[in-house]
Amino acid sequence: MVFQVRPGRASDTDGKTALHVLLWQRALDPERGKWSLPGGRLGADEDLTSSVRRQLAEKVDLRQLAHLEQLAVFSDPARVPGPRTIASSFLGLVPSPATPELPPDTRWHPVSDLPEMAFDHGPMVEHARNRLVAKLSYTNIGFALAPNEFALSTLRDIYSAALGHHVDATNLQRVLERRQVITRTGTTARSGRSGGRPAALYRFTESRYRVTDEFAALRPPG
Amino acid sequence: MVFQVRPGRASDTDGKTALHVLLWQRALDPERGKWSLPGGRLGADEDLTSSVRRQLAEKVDLRQLAHLEQLAVFSDPARVPGPRTIASSFLGLVPSPATPELPPDTRWHPVSDLPEMAFDHGPMVEHARNRLVAKLSYTNIGFALAPNEFALSTLRDIYSAALGHHVDATNLQRVLERRQVITRTGTTARSGRSGGRPAALYRFTESRYRVTDEFAALRPPG
DNA sequence: CCAAAAGTGTTAGCGTTACACCCATGC
DNA sequence: GCATGGGTGTAACGCTAACACTTTTGG
């Protein structure tokens, strides 16, 4: 599953950003016309991670892939028709401003409004989304969804879209600064046309996945 | 990996309980004499969980296996000699008082003092132990290590052995009671030979794996 | 001056740890 | 009575959520 936070079509979400997943539409039976996760067969000389990178290269520019991590295995003998196939699912993340070229059969879909999915791919996306939400709470995985430099309000929008609930920029700042997950660059952004104080810019301290705090935070409001 | 908390040999740990893992000693090359994790090949008509249960039946009485869960996949093409093999590791737990029959080539080893291990099995055990420690903090997984009914001091010893650090019985009680992970049975144990107040007995409220709190607790003292 | 956006300060609350203190039993 | 082990009470702390308030910009 490759995820990205990107602006929805205006009709969808009032122009707000939302978490999207990369899918391609099957041209052949079985399940022709339904939407599938990118993937393919494991080669004899590669490990799973290399294989995933190879498969994804056909769908998305790999330089954009900031994080890739194995999630789960689906091994039900009847999970797909035909010869027995075991699927190992991966979580891939693309930073927000990037807009990789896509082949014609491939599109970003908002996770809140998925099309009819092939095989067991629907539950797979569900599972991956849950893992992403959890990991945003106790790791620095946000680095793989955010631009290199960003204002806190931008980061708030990204976290908010990925988590699926409102996020307070103030608290996000304090949580991530305390854990030293983000660092001020010292520079500031220019304020927009409509005025407002210029925002301080931040970057993620590290660009490698790291568990920063086993004690979860960023839980839904209430 | 099948784990159990059991009394160490007196010479090892002063008779205190410790977390053990089930290993068998290879009789044939490659890696003859080294210790291996139980396992085997996946059959055409079974999913991974069924396969693991089948493999383990040879080593340990399955009725004793209170929890079984998939952990990770090891897919390096060179991880074992010979034809390419992909390993999917599982976490299995045996409750504490049980003493299943073992075949002669099989033994419990304390995780703090592992013998020379075959292939990549050493790091696998390490990984599984880390997952177990984490999950003791935010799930009810302790049910699979403890007896049906137990005094709090017993449970403390089990948690302490599995976590690898001192655990305060008072706080363990409060944490697990708050989350309704354990329940008082109403009965009490008899006090030991050396006197002492009789202990209230508890049981785990549920015998099915459940995430009880995403906010970890039971962290090391300090 | 006003609106907009960013940033700071403050408070309240939950959950956990640490530890002192009281209770019940066998000898 | 005394040692032993079980249980309760309490205080302190860390971290987070919620939100009012101040600061800085553009028009």
pLDDT at residue A193 in the model: 75
Q: Which domains does chain A have, with CATH numbers?
A: 2-138 (3.90.79.10), 141-204 (1.10.10.10)
Q: Which residues of A fall within a CB distance of 8 Å from B86?
A: 42, 48
Tell me what pLDDT residue A12 has: 45
Own/partner long-range contacts of A61-64 (Cβ < 8 Å, ≥24 apart): A61/A98, A61/A100, A61/A101, A64/A94, A64/A95, A64/A98, A64/A100
- Please report the pLDDT score of residue A56 as a whole number: 93
pLDDT value for B213: 83
User: What are the pLDDT digits (tens) for B39-68?
Assistant: 999 999 999 999 999 999 988 887 789 999
Nearest residue to D9, CA vs C1'? B170
pLDDT, tens digit only, all 222 positions of chain A: 999 999 876 444 445 789 999 999 999 988 999 999 999 999 999 999 999 999 999 888 877 899 999 999 999 999 999 899 999 999 999 998 877 788 899 999 999 999 999 999 999 999 999 999 999 999 999 999 999 999 999 999 999 999 999 999 999 999 999 999 999 999 998 877 777 889 999 999 999 999 998 765 666 666
Which letter does DSSP use for residue A117 in this model?
Answer: B
- Indicate yes or no: CB of B73 within 8 angstroms of CB of A46: no
Mean pLDDT of B140-161: 96
pLDDT tops 50 at residue B35? yes
- Minimal Cβ distance to B214: which of A72, A77, A216: A216
Å: A36 CA to D17 C1': 39
In whole angstroms, give the CA distance from residue A76 to residue A16.
38
pLDDT score at A190:
81
Q: What is the pLDDT of residue B29?
A: 85
Token code pair at residue A38: 């990118």
CA A141, distance to chain mean position in Å, is 10
Q: In a mutagenesis test of the B interface, which of A42, A53, A69, A75 is the best target, namely the one with the most B β-carbons within 10 Å?
A: A75
Write the DSSP string, B110-157. Answer: ETTS---B-TTHHHHHHHHHHHHHHHHHHBSGGGGTS-SSEEHHHHHH
Per-residue confidence (pLDDT) for residue B15, from 0 to 100: 53
SS3 B76: coil
pLDDT tens, residue by residue, B159-205: 999 999 999 999 999 999 999 999 999 999 887 777 788 999 999 99
A56-85 residues touching B, CB cutoff 8 A: 70, 72-73, 75-77, 84
The CB density around residue A112, as the number of other CB atoms within 10 Å, is: 14
Phi-psi bin for B185: left (phi > 0), alpha (psi -120 to 50), beta? alpha
Query: Residue A55, Cα to own-chain centre: how many angstroms?
Result: 17
Nucleotide nearest B189, CA–C1', reads D6
Asked if B88 lies within 8 A of A70 by C-beta distance, the reply is no
